[in-house]
Copies of this chain bind each other. A is one copy, B any other.
Amino acid sequence: MLIHSASQLLTLAGGPQRGHALGTLGIIEHGAVVVREEKIVAVGTTDEMRAAYPHEPSLDASGCVLMPGFVDPHTHVIWAGDRANEFGMKMAGMHYLDILAAGGGIISTVHATRTASIETLISQTRPRLLRMFAHGTTTAEAKSGYGLQTATELRLLKALLALDDEGPLDLAITFLGAHAIAPEFKDDPQGYTDLVCDTMLPIVKEWWGTHAPRLSLPFVDVFCENKAFNLEQSRRVLTKARSLGFPLKIHADEFDNLGGVSLAVELGAASADHLVKTSEADIAALGKAETVAVSLPCTPFGLAECHYTPAREIIEADGILALATDCNPGTTWNESMQFVIALACRAMKLTPAQAIAATTINSAYAIRRADTIGSIEVGKQADLLILSVPDYRQLGYRYGTNLVKQVIKRGRVYSVDVGYYRTA
């Protein structure tokens, strides 16, 4: 298939974009891509591609931007129930602790998730994944973590494997047993940390080998924060995970700086995520590391807070910046990476070009898939977007709606209907 005549083809070629290289779009005007089966086999101008592939069936992208599919590198997309009731209470001024005392907060989602069957978990999560896909996300990271007990965490991993298998979205799965202290261990965080390290991690490794023998091990993540896992507990979880061969991620500096970023860099984690209260020393460490700094601007936006990741400082320090939705039922239920781009431009003063690189090639790198996705290069998986706009700068400038016209996933074309049709 020849996708041709794109007003702008954004290749994002050349690998992850560090520091001030962020925003190198590799624009080909009047661009074209040749796709065979699941792969990209040629990239160039429409004239070049038409000459080289004269008999290829074609898909017209005239007047449109053609770019890599979005890669969302941080989501908690699998859960049961919702917390809409808490949102109204929060906006009416009710304090978080009162909501918690009333049985709300993350623990209410844990209760709903524990009592949900795998069928319920899959049927409630599928529409969120399809909504992501319709907004241009072709690969998403997805974490367990609303079980906080071995059986439920395994059920979440099993549901995620089934959803990955079902497609069309590809999932990069993460085990986040260390998402919060389980309610049974409310007064014994050390005991829960022991459970994660000594019981859950070995079981997950063995279980994965049985249930997903052809896939590499999932990421292991930990929520390093006051009232969750302190730095030493986080170190224990990640060190144990590393010794078992798991690749690593960390939640760090969402509300307080505990040193999680430097821990992530020291242990060679794929990414350190949130990074709101990150110190200058930690920013400097990111500038010398392969650990990707994943910013989640929707989280402070969702909470109506005004502190965001110091993204420009991370760029200045030569770090590798990526962006994600953090889609979850508590702080930010938004599936759209387009909104993440719009918010990142405004709240963190990124240019649209920087935000696009941070949601494609760099976010692919944050889930260690930059060898196969995140850019339009020969040999890569054909995960592409055709936008209904002629200039990439309309991403960010326009917001609140969906600018994706077609999603090409592993070479198959899906049309997105942002309009309506009459039924009666």
Residues of A near any B CB (own CB < 8 A): 1, 59, 82-85, 87-88, 91-93, 130-131, 133-135, 298, 301-302, 304, 306, 333-336, 338-339, 345-347, 349-353, 391, 393-394, 396-402, 406-407, 412-424
Contacts and interface: CB of A to CB of B under 8 A. Distances in A.
A417 B414 contact: no
Contact of A352 (B88, B346, B353, B398): B88
Given A91-B351, A349-B93, A400-B400, A422 B413 contact: yes
A130 B420 contact: yes
Contacts of A399: 302, 333-334, 339
Please give me the 4 A-B residue pairs with the lowest Cβ-Cβ distance, nearest first.
A334-B400, A339-B400, A304-B346, A87-B397
Given A92-B351, A393-B84, A398-B334, A415 B423 contact: yes
Contacts of A347: 304
- Each complex incorporates copies of this chain amounting to 2
Nearest to A329: B397
Contact of A87 (B131, B338, B352): B352
Contacts of A406: 423
Contact of A91 (B333, B346, B418): B346
Contacts of A415: 420-423
Nearest to A345: B91
Nearest to A312: B93
A341 to B, nearest CB: 11
A398 B333 contact: yes
28 contacts: A82-B391, A82-B394, A82-B397, A84-B394, A85-B391, A87-B397, A88-B351, A88-B393, A91-B345, A91-B350, A130-B420, A131-B418, A133-B420, A302-B399, A304-B349, A333-B398, A334-B401, A400-B400, A401-B402, A402-B402, A402-B418, A414-B423, A415-B420, A416-B419, A416-B420, A417-B417, A417-B419, A417-B420
